[in-house]
Amino acid sequence: MERMKAIFVVTATLAFVLSPLSTAGFNGFTANQFPIPQMDPPVQPEGYAFSIWGVIYIWLMVGALFGLLKRDRAPGWSAMRWPLILSLVVGAAWIPVANMDPVSATVMIWIMLAAGLVALFRAGTEDHGWLRAPIGLYTGWLTAASGVALGLLLAGYGVVSEQLAAVAMISLSLVIALVVQTLQKDTPEYGIAVIWAVVGIIIANLATGNWLVIALCAVGIVLLARPVWHAIAVLRS
């Protein structure tokens, strides 16, 4: 059974990694996907930030193969496999859905995040570069992306203004990130991925001079930098 779980992780990861090839890819929701077009939403990072997916895909795939070939029965790997499989299976269908239906995609990305965080918390401390690091990078980006998706949804359907949606959802993502990174004392990759996304939001808002969002993101980076640096120190010790 343990080896089958490891095989399922590889299969789910492969489906997840190959999913962009079945579509035109994804660089953020488009303006016309919402009843109120989101022309330049302050919650969304600059397009370059999405390039982190290349690193995430490769690292998850390499880690899954290592787990199958070298750690198929290791307890620290086994405990995280089912939630990771759930996150990746949902993720494999996410891009096609996101290109058609932002509402369903938002629900899906929060499921991906929740399952991914369970996997991160269950993952053993051994084989950091193969196990915790790729999951940490993956869930860190999902933490930011989930807030972005919900922020776009709130503004795009007129629940709140674009500015309020951005401030609320960036704050939510940063609070989640601070809690998770503080608890995950040896996984700086998680916080680094969040910071990468937040920097992308800053750059996107520089053109419009949205200083409230920029200031919020800057404060978030400063606050998150401390537990990230502590995690780096723990990892090196």
Q: Are 110 and 71 in contact (CB under 8 A)?
A: no
Per-residue pLDDT of the chain (237 residues; tens, 9 = 90+): 788 999 999 999 999 999 888 766 666 688 888 999 998 899 999 989 999 999 999 999 999 999 999 999 999 999 999 999 999 999 999 988 988 899 999 999 999 999 999 999 999 988 999 999 999 999 999 999 999 999 999 999 999 999 999 999 999 999 999 999 999 999 999 999 999 999 999 999 999 999 999 999 999 999 999 999 999 998 888
Q: What is the DSSP string of 167-211?
A: HHHHHHHHHHHHHHHHH-TT-HHHHHHHHHHHHHHHHHHHTTT-H
Residue ranges of the domains in the chain? 2-21+41-236
